[in-house]
Structure 1
Amino acid sequence: MSSSNATLAEINALNYGNSIFYQIWTYLLLCLGTIGHSLNIYVFTRPTLRSNPCTRYFLAATITGIYIILTSCLWRYLQINYPAYNPLGYSTASCKILSFMALTSKY
């Protein structure tokens, strides 16, 4: 067995690096996801594509995708970067509501 001799400073440095990564990743995901889904909505609402039933399904999937990005990414950002302000960690009702929203919006 190998023993772990990580110091408290190394653990804090890893936690800080993890927090910075999630901050950058969340902002990047929010920006690029919102731009991409907005462009999809623009394309799928063109008059020439409205008559195609497949386009309506893609439009519905795009609206669901932007909903997922705007809700779940923001909740995860709050949970990771502000652990003292975690409304989902204290209430089982809010945890169930968020889980329901995340699961139903994926299908």
Structure 2
Amino acid sequence: MSAATIINAVNLQFSRLAPLVVFIFGVPGNIFNILIFIRPNLIKNPCSTYFFCSSLANLNVLFFGLIPRSLADGFGIDPVSNNLAFCRFRYFMVHPSVVLSSWFTILAGIDRYCISSRDVHRRQLSNLKYSRYISAITAFIGFAIYSHLLGLFVMQQLKTGPYCYALVGPYRVFL
């Protein structure tokens, strides 16, 4: 058995097992986060709003990003390349969700900075009303920025079969 064959076999097994481990720990972890952040004593905390939204975004990444990718890479089943609508919807859900997860974590840090400030006016910026508005606006902007994915992803015929990806040309370079 050659080294390349061994590496390919290891890569295939890793492509099958690693996403399963991430999914097994990621989904319950994010669900527990959501359940914790909606508890009555935490739901009124502005920082909890940001972490709640971050957990929702992470669940989107797990369900729309990890599952189809692991099916394609580890088992040769590509649900994305068989349906243009799902192809576009998947990428539209994954790309902004990855970005939004980070943005919400940053917003939680900014909220903690504001609440711990000596300046009274800065402390007043940390309130539930602002955190909900900022979360909604952030999610809207995140999905609006990536709305081009809904129209500019296409099915391309490769030697291995159909493949879902960005249009060839300047848009692919942009993406």
TM surpasses 0.5? yes
Paired AA for residue 97 in structure 2: S
Q: Using the TM superposition, name which of 33-42 and 91-100 deviates more.
A: 91-100
Shift in Å, 1:76: 1.0
1:97 is aligned to 89
For 1:19-38, list aligned pairs within 5 A: 19-38=12-31
- Give the share of equivalent positions with the same residue, in percent: 24
List runs of 5+ in structure 1 lacking aligned partners. Answer: 1-6
User: Aligned pair in 2 of structure 1 residues 87, 70: CA closer, same or farther (>3 Å)?
Assistant: closer
| Contact preservation (8 Å) 2:61, 2:94 | yes
For 1:45-60, list aligned pairs within 5 A: 45-60=38-53
List runs of 5+ in structure 2 lacking aligned partners. Answer: 101-175
For 1:61-76, list aligned pairs within 5 A: 61-76=54-69
1:4 is aligned to none
Shift in Å, 1:96: 2.7
Shift in Å, 1:59: 0.7
Q: Secondary structure at the match of 2:35?
A: helix
Cα RMSD (Å)? 2.1
1:80 is aligned to 73
Bigger strand share: 2
Structure 1 distance, partners of 2:5, 2:81, is 23
